[in-house]
Amino acid sequence: MGDGIYWPTFFFLLFSALACGFALAVVFSRNVVRMAFYLVMSLASTAGLFFLAGEDFVGAMQLMIYVGGTLVLLIFGVMLTSQKQFVEMKTPAGQWIVGLVTGCALVALLWMAAFETPQWQPISRAEAEAVAVQPTATPIGVALTNGRVDQLDQPDETLRGGMSSYLLPFEIVSVHLLVVLIGAAYLARAKRRSPSAAAPG
């Protein structure tokens, strides 16, 4: 042990390079179909980063819902609307320059903020190796019903008081999904009858 390669870090570098690289490719690609593919790769690499942070359940959800569902939906949209003249999109050079300069400045600012904040710095290798692996799906499931198991590990009383259970969002988001489904179906289907004379608008 000791000074050998710490493999999680190696995989972190690998996945983060993939995620960032493909995200940049999304920005610089002119072809919508290719953009969609790069986005899939970038978000799948992000799922890898979730696994490395020990959140395997969210990582799995990212792969299944995001990559497997949402992005397939987007690609579907690209395919439905892709006509030859609209697949390739050019952006004026002036906008590119302004955008890139602002973007680089923002990244630099966020990086500086991240690396200068003491509580966000890495723990030592010995500490990291001592962190026990715990189940991740069960605590999430319990939090979605009505409790927080991580209250037991929290020494700070203030923070412990702020640990809410996620029962309400879990229930109310189902209503939201239902309403969204109605909305999407409404827009997608044809009007059921011919518009009357006093068509609103």
Q: Which of residues 174-193 bind other proteins (CB under 8 A)?
A: 175-188, 191-193
CB 50 within 8 A of CB 77: no
Least distance in Å: CB of 193 to other proteins? 6
- 61 counts as binding other proteins under rule CB under 8 A: yes
Least distance in Å: CB of 60 to other proteins? 11
| Of positions 14, 41, 48, 78, contacts other proteins by CB under 8 A | 78
Rounded-to-10 torsion of CA 156, 162, 167, 168? -170
- 94 counts as binding other proteins under rule CB under 8 A: no
- 173 counts as binding other proteins under rule CB under 8 A: yes
- Phi, psi (rounded to 5 degrees) for 31: -95, 125
Residues 133-152, interacting with other proteins (CB under 8 A):
134, 136, 139-140, 142-150, 152
59 CB neighbour count, 10 Å cutoff: 19
- 12 counts as binding other proteins under rule CB under 8 A: yes
- 1 counts as binding other proteins under rule CB under 8 A: no
Residues 152-171, interacting with other proteins (CB under 8 A):
152-156, 158-159, 161-169
- 101 counts as binding other proteins under rule CB under 8 A: no
CB 18 within 8 A of CB 42: yes
CB 62 within 8 A of CB 46: yes
62 CB neighbour count, 10 Å cutoff: 21
Contacts of 60 (CB under 8 A, 6+ apart): 47
